[in-house]
Amino acid sequence: MVPFVRITYYPEKPCFHFLGLCKAAVILTEIILNSTAKFHPDFEKILDSHFEGLLRNEQLSVPGLVVLARRGQEAYHKAFGVSDLKSGSLMQTDAIFRMFSMTKVLTSFVALRLYEEGLFDFEDPVSKYIPSFDRSWDIVVDSKSGPESIDYKSFLTGRIIELGFKREKSAKPMLIKHLMSESSGIEYELFSEYDSFLGGGICDRNAGLVANALRQQLHPEVYRSTCIVGANLTLEKFVDTIGNAGVLTCEPGEFSYGHGATVLGRVIEILYEKSRGVSWKFSEIMSELLFEPLGMDDAAFFLADGDTRVNRIPTLYGAVLEEGGLSARIAEEQECYPTGVDYRTNQTAHYAGPRSYESGDTGSIMTARDYSKFYDMLLAGGISKNGERLLSKQGVVTLCKGRFKDLTLDTALARAFGVAGKHSPFPKSFNFGWATAHGDDYSLRGYTTSDHSDMSNWGGYALTQGFFYPTENSYMLVCPQIMLTTPGAFAFGQTLIRDTSMSAFHSVWN
């Protein structure tokens, strides 16, 4: 087997892949928790001040949020602000949040459970499991002179853009590890949208718009940033639409953040049916292998008609840039797009409409308490509170610290995300559904107080954030509901909510 994972801690210690498949990999056999971890005596006062300040921020005022943090045996769990501005209903700690891309690491976790059964290898081609992916793929490349062009309607401006492009044949196979590291070439259109809107600087290509428009020719609902999980498609049909369109934004292996975990979810469905002899939906598999063993009682993909838990889902907001672009005004998400933009379903898609597309990328909803149980299980070495082992110790280490080899990280999009490995000022890369710091690499070119060498983290479209520190025995979840797809949130949200909250959290460690 080709070496595919490198664990970055204590590389002088020789050990082997836990299924014996990759003897050339260097693996840490367990994570040693900081047994003395605790909060600063004034942690509650400091964190209260920080999160209350987000509600009054002049650039972008957050309507409300829930925070849940743990360090060692100490915890912090509070609600701030309101869940709905019109009614003034106060945010509650049992609010159910749209976690969006924080679903990705959960999908990788479920995949690792099947991996430990010997059902697949990270180096397997995706086409081994999904017939529609057994084809030659075209990479779409910007070309004003064509020979092809396609119209794309911008959700940021409402205008129709004519995009010239050409096709180049992909020379590399798409592998399972590419799905787990979001380097499959199946990129969201969002980054090309904002490049077009802002004049570049994110991915520096229109390929995401072209590829998405070509898929929408096969099915108009296949994916839109204004209709993330609202498509009237099953996961199988959604993934087959991607396969039948046959277009990528880059070669597999290059960071291309998008639908990797969605395709991985379909692989999980296929592997589950092959091993168990029954055909289950991805949500049912996730429930059996993760939600139910951990008692994540409110975790789901969709809520049925009449489910009273709908009342616990906060209003989804966005933000519109004020004139001059120095601040943003909060509005309900569907009101933040220009007139004429169709398929605005993000507000209601988890509890109304077709509720058929179960996305391993962006699909889950749950409370902060539910999500924290996932972190607690990882800190316990893969064991649930009732004593059931869900993942081996080595599996936990791989999820938290593993890094895939042979990925192309020195790209505009990876640098924009801060996951370009050694090419980022503070070395991090995206593996197993979240960003992992390169704790063994001290050849950094800079850092901020939000950086930490032990951290694995990721957030979601609605600016929810999860920060996990396996050796430090710590984590924090920050859960607002402001859509990153809207201009004001895109401009200010990550810096305001993610970066400052990480810094505040680090400041209250003993």
- Note whether residue 61 is domain-resident: no
Q: What's the average model confidence in pLDDT over 145-161?
A: 95
Contact 486, 336 (CB under 8 A): yes
pLDDT tier, 25 (very low <50, low <70, confident <90, very high otherwise): very low
- Note whether residue 470 is domain-resident: no
Contact 204, 180 (CB under 8 A): no
Q: What percent of the chain has pLDDT over 70?
A: 94
C-alpha 359: how far from chain center: 11
What are residue 477's DSSP bridge partners? 68, 466
Backbone angles phi, psi at 153, to 5 degrees: -95, 120
- Note whether residue 176 is domain-resident: yes
Residue 9: the pLDDT is: 32
Residue 56: the pLDDT is: 98
- Note whether residue 207 is domain-resident: yes
Give per-residue pLDDT as tens, 493-505: 999 999 999 999 9
Q: Which residue type does 323 have?
A: E
Please tell me the total count of domains within the chain: 1
- Note whether residue 156 is domain-resident: yes
pLDDT at 236 over 60: yes
pLDDT tier, 30 (very low <50, low <70, confident <90, very high otherwise): low
Top-confidence residue, 200 or 292: 292
pLDDT tier, 198 (very low <50, low <70, confident <90, very high otherwise): confident
104-108, 158-162, 176-180, 438-442: segment of lowest average pLDDT: 438-442
Residue 136: the pLDDT is: 98
- Note whether residue 506 is domain-resident: no
- Which domain, by its residues, includes 144? 109-287
Residue 197: the pLDDT is: 87
> What does pLDDT average to over the chain?
93
Give per-residue pLDDT as tens, 331-387: 999 999 999 999 999 999 999 999 999 999 999 999 999 999 999 999 999 999 999
Contact 99, 372 (CB under 8 A): no
- Note whether residue 320 is domain-resident: no
- Note whether residue 240 is domain-resident: yes
- DSSP calls for 7-50: E-S-TTS----TTSS-TTS---S-----TT--B-TTHHHHHHHH
Q: What's the average model confidence in pLDDT over 184-197?
A: 95
Give per-residue pLDDT as tens, 396-414: 999 999 999 999 999 999 9
Structure tokens at 205: 């290509």
Give per-residue pLDDT as tens, 242-292: 999 999 999 999 999 999 999 999 999 999 999 999 999 999 999 999 999
Residue 27: the pLDDT is: 41
Return the C-alpha torsion angle 130, 134, 140, 145, nearest 10.
-140
Q: What's the average model confidence in pLDDT over 35-53?
A: 97
